[in-house]
Structure 1
Amino acid sequence: MTIENRISLKIDETKRESIKNNLIGLKTELSPLLVALSPNQKRDLPKIGEHLMNFVEEAVYAAEQNLSVVPPYLNLEEVKVDMNAWKYLHSVSRDLEQLLSLLNDTATLSGSEAYSSMLSFYNFIKQASKDGVPGAKPIYENLKHYFPGTGNKNNNKKSEEE
């Protein structure tokens, strides 16, 4: 039986350090600009998406063309600052979400391949231990605690009775 190896990703120390430094740089640049909201604050805020940003842009344009009907409490310049910030941050967020999705997919595949391969080894060593292959039993005994409750039911009953 051959286990398919769909990914073989080696990340050398130079690349790791570069990635780490880039992440630190991104955090350093973004952190002073960002705010944290509580779950209640997030829930209570009106939400906007790209379709509603079109409404905001069109409404700002209409307000700028008709200043006589703009309420005095409305600061159009601040609305434009918020609008531009949203557009930029939303764009960065989309890029990061795409990157995070690829990162998670790659990590999932790498982890899955490692786990599947070693699960195959575990099942092999488990059988080898049952068959009395020299050296197999200590390996199996060391690994079997990762799978509690999957042993022989008769053995489990005996252990409970003792």
Structure 2
Amino acid sequence: MTIENRINLVVDDPKREAIETNLTGLKTELSTLLIALSPKQKKDLPKLGEHMMDFVERSYEGVGKNPTLAPSYIKMDEVKVDMEAWKLLHSIARDLEQLVSMLNDTATLCGSEAYSSMLSFYNYIKQASKDGVPGAKPLYDGLKHYFPGTGNSKDKTKDNEE
């Protein structure tokens, strides 16, 4: 039986260091700009998504053309800053979400291939242990605790007697 190897990802030390340096730089740059909200604070805030940004921009333009219609308590210079910040942060978040999704997919595939291969090894060693192949039983015994409750009741009874 051959296990398909769909990915063979090797990250050398220079690449790993470059990634870590860039992540550290990104965290450093963003940490001075970002805040954390509690779940309650997030829940209580009105949310702006891409579909409503058009509303915000059109309203902002409307105030610009008709400043006398805007309430005096709305600080338009602050609205402009907030709009520009939202656009930048939303764009960064979209890029990072795509990157995180690809990171998770790649990690999932790498982990799946490693797990599948070692599960095949485990099943091979399990059978070899039953067949009395020298050296197989200690390997099997060292691994079987990862799969509690598996095997037939005869094996469980035998294991309990030992």
Which of the five TM-score ranges fits, normalised by the shorter chain? over 0.9
- Please, what TM-score do these two structures have when normalized by structure 2? 0.96
RMSD between superposed Cα atoms in Å: 1.5
* 1:58 alignment counterpart: 58
* 2:147 alignment counterpart: 147
Runs of 4+ more than 6 Å apart:
158-162
- Please, what TM-score do these two structures have when normalized by structure 1? 0.96
Distance 1:133 1:114, change over 3 A: same
* 2:44 alignment counterpart: 44
Deviates more, 1:149-158 or 1:47-56: 149-158
Any stretches of 5+ residues in structure 2 without a counterpart? none
Deviation track 1:108-141 (CA, whole Å, cap 9, x = no partner) reads 0000000000000000000000000011001001
The reply on whether 1:86 has 2:82 as its aligned counterpart is: no
SS where residue 33 of structure 1 aligns?
A: coil
In structure 2, distance between residues paired with 1:156 and 1:45? 56
The alignment-based identity, stated in percent, is 69
Any stretches of 5+ residues in structure 1 without a counterpart? none
Shift of 1:67: 0.6
In structure 2, distance between residues paired with 1:109 and 1:128? 28
Shift of 1:154: 3.2
* Highest RCO, 1 vs 2 (Cα 8 Å, sep ≥ 6): 2
Count of equivalent residues: 162
In structure 1, distance between residues paired with 2:2 and 2:161? 42
In structure 2, distance between residues paired with 1:61 and 1:12? 51
